[in-house]
Amino acid sequence: MNKQEWSAALKSFSQSQREQNPLPDRESLSDEEEWQCRIIGGEFISWYQRHLRDILGQRAVVRIMKFDPKPLIVFTTSVPGLVAAQEIMPEPSENLIYLLHSEFEEWEKKHLVDEFTFHIHHWSYFRPIDGDLLARAQQAFPEVKTEDYRIHTIGDLWGERCGVEGEHLWRWNGEELELLEEAFSQARF
């Protein structure tokens, strides 16, 4: 499958997902979702304006991989993140697709990954905290109730073993999200 076929298939999938599951109006988001929308939107703007350039530069240097110089940008997120992305870029450029993280995972199972020759994947979403991260959070911030912890997962993958992921620890206090610790967890791929 070439870039045009792969991109067209993903765009078609993304469009069908929004037709089946339209995004809510921003005004209908809960207070916590509104905070997530702001945080994810701000992170996406920063990534798009600054970090994407670094990734494109790194891809240009690694010539043995034959990376496409104008890759498709796949941004995956949650509903509040999609609301933010649609507000930031209501008419995304031809090389940008945004969809739910779970939708892209579903789509990838049915379509061979192109080994990042012609796409970059960036993700940013809040998810429930569990396992080791929850234990670490409770140890570091014992005054926070378990149900108030939030994890903001952010990452990039632009080639085989060419990616990073960070998770920021937040607290929902019933009115706003408060950052407890940036880079609470980090990984390189």
Which structural domain, as residue segments, surrounds residue 37?
A: 3-188
pLDDT at 165: 97
Q: Say if strands 119-127 and 96-100 run parallel, antiparallel, or are unpaired.
A: unpaired
Q: What single-letter DSSP state applies at residue 42?
A: H
pLDDT at 5: 87
pLDDT at 37: 98
pLDDT at 160: 82
pLDDT at 2: 79
C-beta atoms surrounding 170 within 10 Å: 26
**How would you write the pLDDT of the chain (189 residues) with one tens digit per residue?**
778 888 899 999 999 999 999 999 999 999 999 999 999 999 999 999 999 999 999 888 886 678 888 899 999 999 999 999 999 998 888 899 999 999 999 998 888 766 788 899 999 999 989 899 999 999 999 999 999 999 999 999 998 888 999 999 999 999 999 999 999 999 998
Number of compact structural domains in the chain: 1
What is the identity of the amino acid at 169?
L
Q: How far is Cα 171 from Cα 148, in angstroms, rounded to an integer?
A: 5
pLDDT in tens, 112-135: 766 788 899 999 999 989 899 999
pLDDT in tens, 40-66: 999 999 999 999 999 999 888 886 678
In the numeric block, which tokens belong to residue 131?
Answer: 């396992």
pLDDT at 68: 87
Residue 129's alpha-carbon distances to 97, 135, 136, 145, 178, in angstroms, are 27, 9, 10, 12, 15
pLDDT at 30: 98
